[in-house]
Chain A
């Protein structure tokens, strides 16, 4: 009862005038653009220096609804149910709620229009990946295509006398040595190899450590072609091979015992607290680890993290896990942007914001105020001044999220910001090489551009089936046969239809 009513309240409070008509927002006029995006700190003051500078640059007022990152998807769903959708909304185009709203006509279809705006087009393949079955609803926000990596305690590796890993077998040996050979040298049996956290969300291919290992062993990245047909990751022999490997590590105690409950926010803790020595995640985590280790010991932190790229499987064949290349899109609502002319005007503004000058504002700040340019790199200045510090925070924790060519961890066409310390510079340099190397073996997900209708309708029921079953298998609660039975149950409850739809939609796009 309470649940239904709360939901109904939320919807009623916002949905009454959903049919349009009452859509005019009171505070905003024609010369104001309203945004909604993610926030990683405290919301910037609209009177703040950067906000004002951006308004001056665009020649328009902007009004941003800043939403803390952790609550973002929830807030998006509630906003979509409201009469107050902002003009430009940062949104995951694949979320069912957005898909439904877009299909109902709440957002502009930009498929034929986006090419006119040079700064918004981006990469053709990534643009297609960010579409819904080929329909493009907005410019995407760039994210590096290849980010998967393995971070290892370099000092431990030295202690146990092993080399940087090249294959999954090497990784196993390192994890075993980290567990049994007392790499922290405290004389106690209190370490383990691989650190795995509890993964939030129930979508299957979530780029978590399990998926990375699946791909290393040759399983598809989410969906892949087998015998001329697209099949899901978990319906291949390589998937079972990979999970036997992961399970072996778990069974032998080479993984943190609380891998089912460790909060992702605490993923770094065991690594820096001398408990675990390996993390499989995105490469930008190296920076976080260096930061934390530096706090502990500013002298030696540079020798404590070794980051390597994707690993090859035991027979030497290598497959790397790429990401989608984007992180959310900027969707344009039809609520206030009603005519083609208004749309053109708005897209021109977004295009301006995506130009080099705009991106520098969003992801570097104000030149000469909080940074200066040296050798094509941004160097922070005046950081002791509290006002400049505020400006810097507004850049890093908020406005960077409005950019299309920039996202946290990368700089796109703005000036790259390289920290002065050597370990960080070394990591960035190595990262470039690593990414270039791994891209050669990247296994792309052909299903990225498509959103099968059955998944939208039944995802809530279907998604957890195999996701949970795999975890239960790894935890020893299900046998391999039972895991296969769960996969069959997924097919029987609607998975067969999803597979059919994905095959149809992908082949239609190819034409």
Chain B
């Protein structure tokens, strides 16, 4: 029986010719699909299943009563957030830091990659490259400790030098609100630039050498080559990186900011992430914290779609 029934589908497929037969494709690439399963499972278990918990943003969640027992309160927590005294400050601090990130942190690896690309001594190029990506492997805790050691008003080495050269009052860099953002940006630059540079260097390595030759034949100098050959070649990479970054704009590095916060600079330092932690974990206001986090997540998604749309409008390929 089985042998009788088996052949016809094969024939049918043959008859169908070029029409893609899903089951067949699935079977043909079965090993590839099998490889896909762990990845999908990861996203499902760790990214989608937990989303069920987002419902507590609309409840007065009491863990003991659980999801079903807790009272539904609709948008109460969101109203509290938007009308509360913290919202404007959190929004301002978060956006300000995001803005500084766009201005300083985003272009830095591009500039460094271009500079490294111009180096002709390979050993120098490689050693510089390795040296600047080492900080990537240090945790924020270590970076914060280093900052305290270097900039403490009492025993900070760097703070001491600055004081010696410039004179004047000793400045408590790590406690002054005015110095909070510069320090955060400097830390981020120091820790992340080298690592991101690798991506741009990879893109630069893919640029066809013949293009440079042709440009030189036409009499283009270094700057012209950079402008007309190198930059257009890595533009897609820059765009993808920009879109990815836009989604994370409100995702400030929690650890970094938490570790650098103190009573004096809290007004400047508090961002959505630290607030969620403080309210949710420290104060046990789970619902309110989830509402804040959900709001931030929604804004992040909108930013990704927005910048992707913008990239397409500007004639780039975009992310999706």
Residues of A within 8 A of B (CB): 1-5, 7-9, 11-12, 14-19, 73-74, 77-78, 80-82, 95-98, 100-101, 103-106, 198-199, 202, 256-258, 260-262, 457, 459-461, 464, 467-468, 471-472, 475, 477, 493
A12 contacts B284, C-beta separation under 8 Å: no
A96 and B293 alpha carbons, distance in the complex (Å): 20
Within 8 Å by CB of A461, from B54, B63, B84, lies B84
Q: Chain B 78-91 against A: per-residue CB contact (8 Å), 1 yes, 0 no? A: 00000011100000
| Residues of A contacting B136 in the complex (Cβ-Cβ under 8 angstroms) | none
Q: Is the interface of B mostly helix, strand, loop or mixed?
A: helix
| Residues of B contacting A258 in the complex (Cβ-Cβ under 8 angstroms) | 152-155, 172, 175
Min C-beta distance of B82 to chain A, whole Å: 13
Q: Chain B 290-313 against A: per-residue CB contact (8 Å), 1 yes, 0 no? A: 101110110011000000000000
Which 6 pairs show the lowest CB-CB distances between chains A and B? A4-B293, A97-B284, A8-B53, A18-B66, A1-B297, A81-B63
Q: Chain B 240-270 against A: per-residue CB contact (8 Å), 1 yes, 0 no? A: 0000000000110010000000111011000
Verify if B150 is at the interface (C-beta below 8 Å from A).
no
A103 and B62 alpha carbons, distance in the complex (Å): 9
A257 contacts B154, C-beta separation under 8 Å: yes
B63 contacts A11, C-beta separation under 8 Å: yes
A8 and B152 alpha carbons, distance in the complex (Å): 37
For the A-B complex with A4-B276, A258-B175 known, give 8 more contacts whose Cβ atoms are closer than 8 Å. Answer: A2-B273, A3-B292, A18-B63, A18-B66, A74-B282, A258-B172, A460-B279, A468-B263
Q: Which residue of B lies closest to A74 (CB)?
A: B281
17 CB < 8 A contacts A-B = A1-B301, A3-B254, A7-B276, A7-B290, A12-B49, A15-B67, A18-B65, A18-B67, A80-B284, A101-B62, A101-B64, A256-B154, A260-B174, A261-B153, A261-B174, A472-B264, A475-B264
Verify if B317 is at the interface (C-beta below 8 Å from A).
no
Interface residue tally on B, bucketed by range: 35 or more
Min C-beta distance of B52 to chain A, whole Å: 6
Verify if B283 is at the interface (C-beta below 8 Å from A).
yes
B54 contacts A4, C-beta separation under 8 Å: yes
A8 contacts B54, C-beta separation under 8 Å: yes
A1 contacts B300, C-beta separation under 8 Å: yes
Verify if B231 is at the interface (C-beta below 8 Å from A).
no
Q: Which residue of A lies closest to B47 (CB)?
A: A5
B52 contacts A73, C-beta separation under 8 Å: no
Min C-beta distance of B169 to chain A, whole Å: 11
B172 contacts A493, C-beta separation under 8 Å: no
Within 8 Å by CB of B148, from A12, A80, A100, A261, lies A261
B64 contacts A106, C-beta separation under 8 Å: yes
Tell me whether A468 and B175 are in contact in the complex, defined as CB-CB below 8 angstroms, given that A18-B64, A257-B153 are known contacts: no
Q: Is the interface of A mostly helix, strand, loop or mixed?
A: helix
B66 contacts A472, C-beta separation under 8 Å: no
Within 8 Å by CB of A82, from B63, B279, B289, lies B63
A261 contacts B175, C-beta separation under 8 Å: yes
Q: Which residue of B lies closest to A199 (CB)?
A: B263
| Residues of A contacting B284 in the complex (Cβ-Cβ under 8 angstroms) | 77, 80, 95-98, 100
A395 and B85 alpha carbons, distance in the complex (Å): 47
| Residues of A contacting B272 in the complex (Cβ-Cβ under 8 angstroms) | 3
Min C-beta distance of A15 to chain B, whole Å: 5
Min C-beta distance of B187 to chain A, whole Å: 15
Within 8 Å by CB of A8, from B86, B148, B290, lies B290
| Residues of B contacting A472 in the complex (Cβ-Cβ under 8 angstroms) | 263-264
Q: Chain B 93-131 against A: per-residue CB contact (8 Å), 1 yes, 0 no? A: 000000000000000000000000000000000000000
B293 contacts A7, C-beta separation under 8 Å: yes
A7 contacts B285, C-beta separation under 8 Å: no
Verify if B195 is at the interface (C-beta below 8 Å from A).
no
A96 and B286 alpha carbons, distance in the complex (Å): 11
B65 contacts A4, C-beta separation under 8 Å: no
B283 contacts A459, C-beta separation under 8 Å: yes
Q: Which residue of A lies closest to B263 (CB)?
A: A471
| Residues of A contacting B67 in the complex (Cβ-Cβ under 8 angstroms) | 15-16, 18
A2 and B54 alpha carbons, distance in the complex (Å): 12
| Residues of A contacting B62 in the complex (Cβ-Cβ under 8 angstroms) | 100-101, 103-104
Verify if B236 is at the interface (C-beta below 8 Å from A).
no
Q: Which residue of B lies closest to A78 (CB)?
A: B281
A12 contacts B50, C-beta separation under 8 Å: yes
Within 8 Å by CB of A9, from B46, B56, B281, lies B46
Tell me whether A468 and B266 are in contact in the complex, defined as CB-CB below 8 angstroms, given that A261-B148, A460-B279 are known contacts: yes
Q: Which residue of A lies closest to B54 (CB)?
A: A8
| Residues of A contacting B56 in the complex (Cβ-Cβ under 8 angstroms) | 8, 11
